Chains A and B, each alone.
Chain A
């Protein structure tokens, strides 16, 4: 268990800035997920913590000690790679024992530790096999075992589930969550999959183009996104964005216009000006079918996805991407129906059109 502190961290590859001033404080024992679109620098950030990438400027502290110039192995961190990175020429036992052997740990203690870890991860029957003889899920468990056996203070995971099939991914996700509960080590987990982020994390770092967009608990990010990027990134299916302009402001009550239609609904916001352009963000589960008079906008149904538990209705409105509405399965919506879309005022997020930052709530 240890705390990690990243102070004003920068990473440049020649002229390209990959990480641009990242500040994060991770408490001891926390499970933090770094999530972001591909190319946002999340893997680089993780590799910097591991010590595999040099730091351009800024500091990384583990347990209040700057580790910038400390060897990866001496940072007391262990990493699980996306490709598992098992040693192909060594047996599973040797794979797990490698780090301990390098550290010249007593042979009997190695055997004891390897067996205990193999037991936890159900690998006892595989110990004499080579990595190529194992399935993807088993290899992943070996990679975790290899990290676990060293009893590190910090675990780093670099997209560990992305090479697994969907079913196995869910199982392994649950295993990882259980693992964290049982050993309560600090874990940093990189993924591009926001579902993994929401389900595993105690805290999420959303990274975009080398900068932190928001750092908070999953629910904070979901219900109170700082800006339009977070709002669109967290949640699946993603949040709908509808362009609107402010019609008039009257204390804590203002009216908006969507697609040249005045919306007969008032929103309790005050920090806007008349004629200002804004974006309304509405989650699919908050969109609903209403009468024309109460609606924000209207459009034809272009696609219906039935997922058993609920239906996703995709609606085309002019000048926008397809809007998605989540409805109960017992509905009478058919393809090409015209739907009048409405929302309760408290379920609307309002973003500034130019800066994308949130204006309300």
Chain B
């Protein structure tokens, strides 16, 4: 324990010292060089000296793995034998893969849609009641729970006990109380996807609500009153005056949740482990890469996820640039 502590302190000190020495020395050498040659070249090099460590580390930990994944996708399970497009062909022919892609597509559409929608509704309505702040705290609370923790909570809600025992799962308890038959909810193919999505919607609604609530607060009260004078009713004020004004924020919330959805993994692992047709891409990638130890197929799936994120990232960056211009 002590040895590890001393080691980590040493590493921290060393890393900081090396960085400081690097920058001071780099600067000093450039200063001497530019003093001698008196050219503006040194000033062109200077920013690169400061940028180099960051660029180097990003290349090492982000760019290199990305290209390595691309390379591996053309190789067999051990990563040694070139197999051409075989992994890609498998991707488009595999039955399980098709289910997974469908599931992922459903997640991508439904979770951001419902999270943003509920977030917006709660943000709007909570401003109109005296217990709004309390309601918001409750809705926001799941944000603090890890995906696995949330999954465990919801597993209890969907829990099924044998018919002679009491149903401890909330959903089955309600069903039984209403005179229905208890069901193993998360094993019903296709619909179980939605039961899993509920977990993420439950978590992300809080996020959407907080951001949208702040945006709604920023709206001018006089503009809303003006629309009321113009005869707009509450619904018209909401979707003709308020929503269009916070549309940029809605898009930010939407895309942020979309990116989170693309990476969803823990919920599926904790709830069903991908059984009963609930697998998603990240889940499938993990299975092939580490459980089946097939680097080729694992890499192909990883590339699919990357491909899915790119358009969203492109939109986000474009928006950021537009905001900078304003």
Contact = CB atoms under 8 A, between A and B. Distances in A.
A85 B230 contact: no
Contacts of B225: 52, 79, 81, 85
- If over half of A's interface residues share one DSSP class (helix, strand or loop), that class is named, otherwise mixed; here it is loop
Interface string B216-249: 0000101101111111100010001100110100
B129 to A, nearest CB: 17
Interface size for chain A: under 10, 10 to 19, 20 to 34, or 35 or more residues? 20 to 34
B223 A72 contact: no
Contact of B231 (A52, A79, A82, A99): A99
Nearest to A50: B229
Interface residues of B, number: 17
B223 A102 contact: no
B230 A150 contact: yes
Contacts of B222: 81-83, 85
A73 interface: yes
Interface in A264-322: none
B229 A78 contact: yes
A235 B247 CA distance: 49
Interface in A43-90: 50-52, 72-74, 77-79, 81-83, 85-90
A226 interface: no
B226 to A, nearest CB: 4
Interface in A129-184: 146, 150
Contacts of A222: none
Interface string B58-101: 00000000000000000000000000000000000000000000
A177 B245 CA distance: 34
A81 B226 contact: yes
B223 A73 contact: no
A98 B241 CA distance: 10
A109 interface: no
Contacts of B247: 89
Nearest to B247: A89
Contact of A77 (B226, B229, B232): B229
Given A81-B222, A83-B222, A102-B236, A88 B228 contact: no
Interface in A236-277: none
Contacts of A51: 229
Contacts of A85: 220, 222-223, 225-226
Contacts of A150: 230
Given A79-B226, A89-B245, A99-B231, 13 more contacts: A50-B229, A52-B225, A52-B229, A78-B229, A81-B225, A82-B222, A83-B220, A85-B222, A85-B226, A89-B247, A102-B231, A103-B231, A150-B230
11 contacts: A52-B229, A72-B228, A73-B230, A73-B231, A81-B222, A85-B220, A85-B222, A85-B223, A88-B245, A89-B245, A150-B230
Interface of B: 220, 222-223, 225-232, 236, 240-241, 244-245, 247
